[in-house]
Structure 1
Amino acid sequence: MQLTLALPWWARLLRRARTTPSPAPGAPQPGRRLRHLRTVDRRDGEEESPTLADLYRTRRLDMVRLAAFLVDDLPTAEDVVQDAFAAVCRRHGERLDDLQDAHAYLHTAVVNAARSVLRRRRTARAYVPPHQGPGAAVDEPLLLAEEHRQVIDALARLSGRQREVLVLRYWSDLSEAQIAETLGVSRGTVKSTASRALAALEKLLEGDR
């Protein structure tokens, strides 16, 4: 069952942040959630698992944007996604034949990599903005627009679990069951966390307006 709360303005902003330039004809839509990324074996009509290259090509930008909402800066988000793909490769190899749902597994890998970054920040007890190299990431102007900046700043003031639940729900558009699987918690925990997080975020955003 999906969380049934009406979409507030900031949730609509998160969803609009998924917009990307139109892909070439026949290419997968990177801003849409692919439940089961599959390619078809034309020889016998059976479906075969995606390769790691397939997953990287179709999901990388989505995962960078997801990570950016969790760690709050794009260079670190790109590192998080690279680490997540590397972890998937080490554990499952290039073929990914043993993964039932590669997309769901990748979500979990990105969330875990983002958690590792945040733990290191807490250990350091101070956040130092990363050095900005030459050139901005392709979607930086979108994510750093004023309204998006306001939402990201408010999200950063929530607890880690609350931020994860809201981003996975309203940006990745996952169901309660999918969020529970990604975070390794019960659906009841997802529901109660979402309720508390919504109240806290609305209060923060109303206070900033």
Structure 2
Amino acid sequence: MRGVSHVDEVRAADELAGLGRADAVASLFRSQHRRLVGLAALLVDDRAVAEDVVQDAFVGLYRRWRHLRDPNAAVAYLNRAVVNGGRDRLRGGQRAATRRLMMVPRAETLESAEQGAIEHDEADRLWRALTRLPTRQRQVLVLRYYLDQSEAEIAETLQVSPGSIKRHASRGIDALARSMEAGS
């Protein structure tokens, strides 16, 4: 379960140099929208709500563009806005357990149809276990393993201490392992 690497974020940010606000936000939308919707869907467990969260993040970025000290920080701003927006939506009870973004392996990487079915089942079990985690544990694990962020980056995104990130990650992984062993 991998998202966009830090190198990809830097490359996307470098493309913003010299662009006006509308062009820069449009460029970010083209390069980051799909990834951010995936991130939000992992956090809120509802594709429609995820789309709304990402839309709100881009609207916020557009409105605050002139206040960004460094336009290259726009990707980090979007990550933080999506995480915070997802958390706000969960607090508001806007979550549906019936809609899920499935994490299915790409067809070209599958060895056989049976292998694909097994991997799909494992991904679905992992997804169900992830959605049962407390919000902060889910956020930490999604940022770590979907966005491939470091502990320091996660701490900055969630605005908590690195020690808190380690604690939530450890507890989340333990809970996922127990759930997977139990055959949820």
TM-score by length of 1: 0.68
Paired letter, 2:136: R
Which residue of the other structure, out of 104, 108, 113, is the alignment partner of 1:142? 104
Give deviations 1:36-78, integer Å, cap 9, x for gaps.
21128xxxxxx54681111111011111111111011222211
Which residue of the other structure, out of 20, 36, 40, is the alignment partner of 1:63? 36
Mark the CA change 1:176 to 1:192 in structure 2 (over 3 Å): closer, same or farther.
same
1:88-103 matches, within 5 Å, as 88-92=61-65, 98-103=70-75
Mark the CA change 1:202 to 1:185 in structure 2 (over 3 Å): closer, same or farther.
same
What's 1:204 paired with?
Answer: 179
What's 1:120 paired with?
Answer: 92
What's 1:157 paired with?
Answer: 132
Mark the CA change 1:149 to 1:208 in structure 2 (over 3 Å): closer, same or farther.
same
Contact 1:52 1:96 survives alignment (8 Å): no
Question: Using the alignment, how far apart are the partners of 2:46 and 2:170 within structure 1?
Answer: 26
Question: Using the alignment, how far apart are the partners of 1:83 and 1:48 within structure 2?
Answer: 24
Q: Which has the higher helix share?
A: 2
- Do residues 38 (structure 1) and 10 (structure 2) align? no
Q: Which runs of 5+ in 2 are unaligned?
A: 106-119
What's 1:6 paired with?
Answer: none
| Pairwise CA RMSD | 2.9
How far 1:146 sits from its partner (Å)?
3.2
Mark the CA change 1:141 to 1:176 in structure 2 (over 3 Å): closer, same or farther.
closer
What's 1:26 paired with?
Answer: none
Count of aligned positions: 164
Give every structure 1 segment of 4 or more consecutive aligned residues whose post-TM-superposition deviation is greater than 6 Å.
none
**Percent of residue pairs identical:** 42
Mark the CA change 1:128 to 1:69 in structure 2 (over 3 Å): closer, same or farther.
closer
Question: Using the alignment, how far apart are the partners of 2:176 and 2:141 within structure 1?
Answer: 10
Give deviations 1:144-199, integer Å, cap 9, x for gaps.
x4332221211111111000000000110000110000000011111111111111
Paired letter, 1:82: Q
Contact 1:38 1:48 survives alignment (8 Å): no
Q: Which runs of 5+ in 1 are unaligned?
A: 1-13, 19-30, 41-46, 131-138
- Do residues 85 (structure 1) and 58 (structure 2) align? yes
What's 1:182 paired with?
Answer: 157
Give deviations 1:105-162, integer Å, cap 9, x for gaps.
111000011011101117xxx85757xxxxxxxx76839x433222121111111100
Question: Using the alignment, how far apart are the partners of 2:132 and 2:46 within structure 1?
Answer: 14
Contact 1:92 1:98 survives alignment (8 Å): no
TM-score by length of 2: 0.77
